[in-house]
Amino acid sequence: MGDDKKTILIIDDEVGLRNLLKFRLVSFGFDVLVAEDGYTGIDLAKSMKPNLIILDIMMPYFNGIEVCRKLKSDYATKDIPVVFLSVLAQKEDIEMGKQAGAEFFLTKPYDPEKLNFVIRMALNKQSGGE
């Protein structure tokens, strides 16, 4: 038990947030991959098969909703849980995120403990569902 570390992919175009989030996730005991845009994120998700993806909505090229739809429609990545982490907090944004296939939606600024809790819930849901 606990012998294999879970890997989380962060897809966010904001370098400061990405670095802080990576630092926090590593301190929570996760391996972390990072992507600065949706294209890179989708490629990394397919090649590295992370256990979970943390995804921003407002990004260049593809926004997070489009990235999530692509991940959820691809056989190779459809079962990876997605957690949106975004400044967009309107009811419509949260609804769009859920419709795109995200398991959870957190708003920035975020509470690190709540993020850790949500990640662990999503990972437990994933391993319990198999």
CATH code linked to domain 7-128: 3.40.50.2300
Helices (H), the chain: 15-27, 38-48, 64-73, 91-100, 112-128
Alpha-carbon distances, residue 12 vs 86, 108, 129, 130 (angstroms): 9, 12, 28, 29
Residue-by-residue pLDDT tens, the chain, 130 positions: 445 799 999 999 999 999 999 999 999 999 999 999 999 999 999 999 999 999 999 998 889 999 999 999 999 999 999 999 998 878 898 899 999 999 999 999 999 999 999 999 999 987 765 4
Taking the complete model, does pTM exceed 0.75, yes or no? yes
CA atoms of 45 and 55, how far apart (whole Å): 12
pLDDT of 112 reads 94
Q: For the chain, give every domain's residue range.
A: 7-128
Tell me which amino acid residue 67 is: V
